[in-house]
């Protein structure tokens, strides 16, 4: 197992390098970060060129990539455009932990911007994911065990409706119902936007109450999808001979479900979860935008539309790294779930 | 048994947490009492003054600024917010008229127009008590023009030099006459020398100065206190303010990127002020008892016509452009905008003194439009409803804009209306950063891919200057960021160059009469609607006025009804 893990980690290095090259190349088509910098103020060509030189945007793409990777403190830059490189570069490159500085918030390190938002994303996404999984498991298992009952039919119909609804519709509808109209009707109401009320401060109860609507919005679609998947996996597993044998041995339904059925049904679900978990870091763009949640999803979208390569690359590389690690963890969990799987 | 007890304990804890967080917000004891009961008051320690509720307002802000140093940001959302914590020599009132703010009187201009002199008040101080003098202006000028600082633009600070005969006098010496100086200079850009000079001395640049993102020392009615990225900014009253102390204790700008969510926040009372809401939400605001305040800001939504060599033959035909102007029922569009806007004609409609009074709006006249097209030989020869020229080339016009909903709605309307006269309007929508991309990056506006481009824009309001139609602003490989996506017309170019160097306001106005008439008669630009600022205000807020140039000019007078 140790050799397997080491081998996978070594394989991840060239993989992440290739991913970074592909993403960097694709980002060049996202627009010119200097195009709208001056707003409606007249910006002379020499000013744009000066900014491009200072920000390193005048270099060919492959040079920009090399500077992003290993830094430019080993070369000198011609800042004053006299043809003589005189100013030492200050970047160390991502291999030395320097994610670069934002082109939008000039001077602010990209990693600082990302780390400022990352905890907010985890606060939103982890409880959401736990809620989704627990609810989907409960609904899916119950639905499978009571196949074709009226509850199963109702759950099925609800799942199809929930899965079909666009998330922005659910988000806005729930906001208008529980925040705007409930308040108008004199009922207990929820807040509309934000992670907390700035007038009250970032307290635990404030964050919890502000989590309700975003988590509800994300959950409707996800629970609908996951519960159907759990149901189908459970139905497949419970029709196996060993389940029949377990019942025949006199085990209770609960023991059969938990010890035998669920563990085997969980294997493909672990695959899906392993793919989904790293993307928790990316946040939820639509939900965060509608509810004004200061997370990574909104950060990514805001900086992508402004062609802020350092921040966008930082976010994407973080997610790529998380995908690689999570895939490794997923494979290890497989081995625990299914004793037939061995790694060497 | 233990497992069950544990589960029950966890369940009770979770339910308890949720219930403690739910429910209406805590209302201070000083607010509404039950009828007939004595007014409840908060208990205070004996002998201490009555504690009062803080006066805090929340403004929903759709875009988060990228910097709090004016020189590093061109965003409207930043240049407006800066009025809270920064100061300018002059401001503009609710009629968009300038008045002295940091200066004792509006600056004087020499007869030749080359020297502008400002006399500062002698009571100006930064929020930390340090006197604010002419040295801060010199420092600001030096930082903006220093190539070591990657400011957004040096314009127009590279047009003059600064001298300071004494601590209260600032003299700007222009190399050539520059008439738009009042609209383009010193607006929220003053930097504290005592804070930033040490940064520049040690790092050789102020690019990485903490002050750019956390300007804890300012000269406005409020002080910056907090910026929680993606969430909000808070500004508290500046107790050292040299002017009238603000009535409010704090102003919070909460970032709400989604229009519908902003509307919900205003309707629910989570935000006291919203700006630029979708027009279709205005009836809902009125029904909820909120005030809808509009203020001309100089912005006009309009169609810019591309007459460069790559444009289609159709759009370069003057009769076609006139026909387009007469085939669009622009009044029907204002109905769609809840009659909050009105139809505009020229790029300068918000500055009527500069618009030729003889200009009459293009009438909505389909028959006249058809006649003009036929005069130019555009006839529907194959009966498909689209006109062709003598060689069979279709009268197809491409039109593009950014993917804002109301613009896309207007595209659909315009398409129908132009089809009625046989013009095939092909429409495109782009993300804003791609639409305005540079020439070298293949931006559709810059490269002339589109015959007609639509967006909302403004001259140097309240000054009429604009460089959009200057020939040296045509984008090219040598000038990839040029702003003239439209036409190089020598007559127009000469007029624009003449006006910016004209000192006499009456003569300058006359030049603009020629410009507006020339552009109107040649249909170089077609106004669609005036895109002024729309503010939604909660009735608990009083004393507010808005300016189209410096919206928060009187924020120190804002108050809340307790």
pLDDT value at position B240?
95
What is the C-alpha to C-alpha distance for residues A100 and B334, in angstroms, rounded to an integer? 47
What is the C-alpha to C-alpha distance for residues A281 and A121, in angstroms, rounded to an integer? 7
What is the C-alpha to C-alpha distance for residues B193 and B205, in angstroms, rounded to an integer? 13
Q: Which residue of B has its CA nearest to A195?
A: B231
Considering only residues A72 and A267, tell me which one the structure prediction assigns the higher pLDDT.
Answer: A72
pLDDT value at position A180?
95
The answer, yes or no, to whether residue A338 has pLDDT greater than 90, is no
B250-255/B56-61 β-pairing: parallel
What is the C-alpha to C-alpha distance for residues A123 and A127, in angstroms, rounded to an integer? 7
- Selecting from A45, A117, A192 the residue whose C-beta is nearest the C-beta of B479 gives A45
Contact B462, B549 (CB under 8 A): yes
Q: b/e map of B97-107 (b: 16 or more CB within 10 Å)?
A: ebebbbbeeeb
pLDDT value at position B42?
39
Contact A318, A324 (CB under 8 A): no
Say yes or no for a CB contact (<8 Å) between A32 and B467: no
Contact B555, B245 (CB under 8 A): no
- Residue of A98, A102, A105 best to disrupt the B interface, most CBs of B under 10 A: A105
pLDDT value at position B403?
84
- Selecting from A32, A80, A289 the residue whose C-beta is nearest the C-beta of B437 gives A32
The values of phi and psi at residue B160, to 5°, are -150, 170
Per-residue model confidence as pLDDT tens digits over B221-251: 999 999 999 999 999 999 999 999 999 999 9
pLDDT value at position B335?
63
pLDDT value at position A37?
59
Contacting residues of A for B213, CB less than 8 Å apart = 105, 107-108
Average pLDDT over residues A172-187: 95
- Residue of A192, A291, A306 best to disrupt the B interface, most CBs of B under 10 A: A192
pLDDT value at position A333?
79
Q: Which residue of A has its CA nearest to B269?
A: A180
Average pLDDT over residues A292-308: 91
Contacting residues of A for B148, CB less than 8 Å apart = 79
Distance of residue B466 Cα from the nearest chain A Cα, in angstroms: 9
pLDDT value at position A181?
95
Distance of residue B265 Cα from the nearest chain A Cα, in angstroms: 6
pLDDT value at position A8?
85
pLDDT value at position B140?
97
Say yes or no for a CB contact (<8 Å) between B147 and A79: yes
Contacting residues of B for A55, CB less than 8 Å apart = 150
- Of A8-12, A42-46, B353-357, the least confident: A42-46
- Output the six-digit token pair for A140: 């899916």
Say yes or no for a CB contact (<8 Å) between A32 and B457: no
Contacting residues of B for A302, CB less than 8 Å apart = 64, 257
User: How is residue B49 annotated by DSSP?
Assistant: P
What is the C-alpha to C-alpha distance for residues A41 and A54, in angstroms, rounded to an integer? 20
Average pLDDT over residues A325-334: 83
Strands (DSSP E) contained in B27-168 are 56-61, 90-92, 98-100, 108-109, 115-119, 160-166
- Selecting from A193, A306, A307 the residue whose C-beta is nearest the C-beta of B270 gives A193
Say yes or no for a CB contact (<8 Å) between A208 and B436: no
Say yes or no for a CB contact (<8 Å) between B261 and A291: yes
The values of phi and psi at residue B529, to 5°, are -150, 155
pLDDT value at position B417?
96
- Residue of B61, B159, B231, B477 best to disrupt the A interface, most CBs of A under 10 A: B231
CA atoms within 13 A on the CB side of B45: 1
- Selecting from B231, B260, B265 the residue whose C-beta is nearest the C-beta of A294 gives B231
What is the C-alpha to C-alpha distance for residues B259 and B401, in angstroms, rounded to an integer? 19
Share of residues in chain A with pLDDT > 70 (%): 94
Residues 6 or more apart whose CB falls under 8 angstroms from that of B486 comprise B304, B305, B306, B307, B308, B468, B469, B524
Select from A244, A306, A326, A288 the least CA-distant residue to A118.
A288
pLDDT value at position B482?
85
Per-residue model confidence as pLDDT tens digits over A187-241: 999 999 999 999 999 999 999 999 999 999 999 999 998 899 888 888 888 888 8
Q: Which residue of A has its CA nearest to B227?
A: A198
What is the pLDDT confidence band of residue A332, given thresholds at 50, 70 and 90? confident
Contacting residues of B for A172, CB less than 8 Å apart = 260-261, 264
Residues 6 or more apart whose CB falls under 8 angstroms from that of B163 comprise B171, B173
Q: b/e map of A16-38 (b: 16 or more CB within 10 Å)?
A: eeebbeeebeebeebbbbbbbbb
Q: Which residues pair with residue B427 across a beta bridge?
A: B399
Distance of residue B208 Cα from the nearest chain A Cα, in angstroms: 5
pLDDT value at position A188?
94
Say yes or no for a CB contact (<8 Å) between B457 and A40: yes
Mean pLDDT by 10 residues, chain B (562 residues): 52 49 34 35 44 88 93 89 95 94 96 95 96 97 91 89 96 94 90 97 93 95 95 96 96 95 96 92 94 92 96 96 96 70 91 95 96 96 95 96 87 95 96 84 92 93 92 88 91 95 93 97 95 94 95 96 86
Select from B303, B275, B334 the least CA-distant residue to B529.
B334
Distance of residue B361 Cα from the nearest chain A Cα, in angstroms: 27
Contacting residues of B for A209, CB less than 8 Å apart = 21-22
- Residue of A29, A31, A100 best to disrupt the B interface, most CBs of B under 10 A: A31
The answer, yes or no, to whether residue A259 has pLDDT greater than 70, is yes
What is the pLDDT confidence band of residue A43, given thresholds at 50, 70 and 90? low
Average pLDDT over residues A145-172: 90
Q: Edge-to-edge strand order for the sheet containing B222-228?
A: B222-228, B232-237, B250-255, B56-61, B273-275, B533-537, B291-295
ipTM of the complex: 0.87
Contacting residues of A for B433, CB less than 8 Å apart = 30-31, 35-36, 305-307
Contacting residues of A for B24, CB less than 8 Å apart = 188-189
- Selecting from A41, A42, A305 the residue whose C-beta is nearest the C-beta of B431 gives A305
What is the C-alpha to C-alpha distance for residues A24 and A59, in angstroms, rounded to an integer? 14
- Selecting from B56, B150, B267 the residue whose C-beta is nearest the C-beta of A199 gives B56
What is the pLDDT confidence band of residue A30, given thresholds at 50, 70 and 90? confident
Say yes or no for a CB contact (<8 Å) between B208 and A105: no
Q: Which residue of B has its CA nearest to A121?
A: B230
Considering only residues A100 and B42, tell me which one the structure prediction assigns the higher pLDDT.
Answer: A100
pLDDT value at position B15?
52
């Amino acid at each position: 197992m140790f050799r397997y893990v080491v081998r996978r980690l070594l394989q991840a290095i060239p993989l992440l390098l290739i991913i970074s090259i592909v993403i960097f190349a694709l980002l060049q088509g996202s627009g010119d970060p200097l195009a709208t910098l001056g707003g409606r103020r007249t910006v002379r060509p020499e000013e744009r060129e000066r900014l491009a030189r200072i920000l390193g945007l005048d270099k060919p793409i492959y040079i920009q990539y090399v500077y992003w990777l290993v830094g430019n403190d080993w070369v000198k830059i011609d800042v004053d455009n006299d043809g003589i490189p005189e100013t030492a570069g200050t970047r160390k490159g991502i291999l030395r932990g320097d994610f670069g500085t934002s082109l939008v918030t000039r001077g602010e390190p990209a990693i600082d911007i990302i780390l400022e938002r990352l905890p907010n994303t985890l606060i939103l996404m982890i409880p959401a994911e736990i809620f989704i999984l627990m609810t989907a498991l409960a609904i899916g298992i119950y639905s499978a065990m009571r196949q074709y009952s009226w509850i199963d039919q109702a759950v099925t119909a609800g799942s199809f409706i929930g899965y079909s609804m666009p998330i922005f519709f659910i988000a806005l509808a729930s906001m208008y119902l529980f925040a705007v109209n409930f308040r108008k009707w004199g009922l207990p109401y929820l807040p509309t936007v934000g992670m907390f009320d700035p007038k009250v401060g970032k307290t635990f109860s404030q964050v919890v109450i502000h989590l309700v609507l975003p988590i509800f919005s994300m959950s409707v679609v996800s629970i609908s999808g996951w519960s159907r998947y759990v149901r189908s996996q459970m139905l497949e597993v419970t029709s196996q001979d060993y389940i029949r044998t377990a019942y025949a041995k006199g085990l209770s339904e609960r023991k059969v479900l938990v010890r035998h059925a669920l563990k085997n049904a969980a294997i493909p679900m672990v695959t899906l979860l392993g793919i989904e978990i790293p993307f928790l870091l990316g946040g939820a763009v639509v939900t965060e935008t509608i509810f004004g949640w200061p997370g990574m999803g909104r950060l990514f979208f805001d900086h992508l539309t402004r062609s802020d390569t350092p921040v966008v690359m930082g976010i994407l590389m973080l997610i790529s790294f998380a995908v690689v690690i999570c895939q490794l963890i997923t494979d290890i969990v497989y081995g625990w779930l299914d004793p037939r799987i061995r790694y060497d | 048994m233990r497992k069950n007890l544990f589960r029950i304990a966890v369940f009770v804890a979770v339910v308890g947490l949720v219930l403690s967080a739910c429910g209406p917000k805590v209302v201070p004891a000083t607010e509404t009492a039950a009828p007939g009961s004595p007014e409840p008051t908060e208990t205070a320690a004996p002998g201490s003054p009555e504690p009062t509720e803080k006066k805090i307002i929340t403004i929903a802000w759709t875009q988060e600024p990228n910097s709090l140093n004016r020189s590093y940001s061109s965003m409207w959302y930043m240049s407006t917010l800066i009025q809270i914590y920064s100061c300018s020599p002059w401001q503009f009132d609710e009629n968009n008229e300038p008045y002295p703010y940091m200066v004792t009187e509006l600056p004087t201009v020499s007869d030749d127009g080359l020297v502008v002199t400002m006399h500062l008040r002698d009571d100006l101080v930064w929020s930390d008590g340090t006197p604010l003098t002419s040295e801060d202006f010199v420092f600001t000028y030096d930082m903006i023009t220093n190539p070591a600082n990657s400011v957004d633009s040096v314009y127009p600070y590279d047009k003059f030099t600064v001298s300071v005969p004494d601590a209260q006098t600032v003299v700007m010496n222009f190399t050539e006459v520059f008439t738009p100086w009042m609209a383009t200079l010193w607006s929220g850009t003053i930097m504290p020398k005592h804070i930033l000079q040490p940064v520049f001395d040690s790092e050789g640049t102020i690019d990485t100065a903490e002050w750019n993102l956390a300007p804890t020392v300012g000269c406005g009615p409020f002080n910056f206190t907090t910026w929680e990225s993606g969430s909000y900014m808070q500004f508290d009253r500046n107790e050292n303010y040299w002017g009238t102390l603000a009535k409010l204790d704090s102003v919070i700008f909460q970032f709400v990127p989604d229009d519908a969510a902003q509307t919900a926040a205003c309707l629910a009372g989570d935000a006291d002020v919203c700006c630029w809401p979708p027009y279709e939400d205005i009836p809902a605001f009125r029904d909820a008892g909120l005030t809808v305040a509009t203020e001309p800001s100089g912005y006009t939504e309009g169609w810019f016509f591309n007459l460069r060599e790559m444009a289609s033959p159709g759009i370069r035909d003057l009769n076609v452009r006139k026909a387009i102007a007469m085939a669009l029922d622009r009044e029907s569009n204002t109905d769609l905008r809840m009659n909050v806007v009105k139809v505009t004609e020229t790029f300068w409609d918000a500055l009527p003194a500069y618009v030729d009074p003889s200009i009459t709006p293009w009438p909505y006249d389909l028959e006249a439009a058809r006649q003009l097209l036929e005069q130019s030989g555009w006839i529907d020869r194959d009966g498909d409803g689209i006109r062709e020229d003598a060689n069979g080339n279709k009268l197809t016009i491409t039109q593009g804009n950014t993917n804002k909903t109301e613009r896309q709605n207007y595209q659909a309307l315009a398409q129908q209306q132009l089809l009625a006269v046989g013009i095939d309007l092909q429409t495109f929508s782009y993300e804003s950063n791609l639409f305005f991309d540079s020439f070298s990056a293949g931006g559709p506006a810059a490269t002339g891919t589109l015959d007609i481009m639509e967006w909302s824009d403004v001259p140097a309001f309240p000054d009429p200057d604009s460089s959009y139609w200057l020939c040296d602003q045509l984008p090219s490989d040598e000038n990839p960021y040029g702003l003239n996506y439209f036409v190089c017309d020598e007559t127009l170019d000469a007029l624009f160059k003449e006006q910016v160097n004209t000192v006499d306001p009456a003569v300058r106005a006359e030049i603009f009469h020629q410009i507006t008439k020339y552009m109107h008669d040649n249909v170089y630009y077609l106004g669609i609607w005036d895109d002024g600022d729309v503010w939604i205000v909660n009735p608990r807020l009083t004393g507010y006025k808005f300016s189209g140039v410096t919206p928060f000019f009187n924020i120190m007078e804002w108050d809340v009804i307790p």
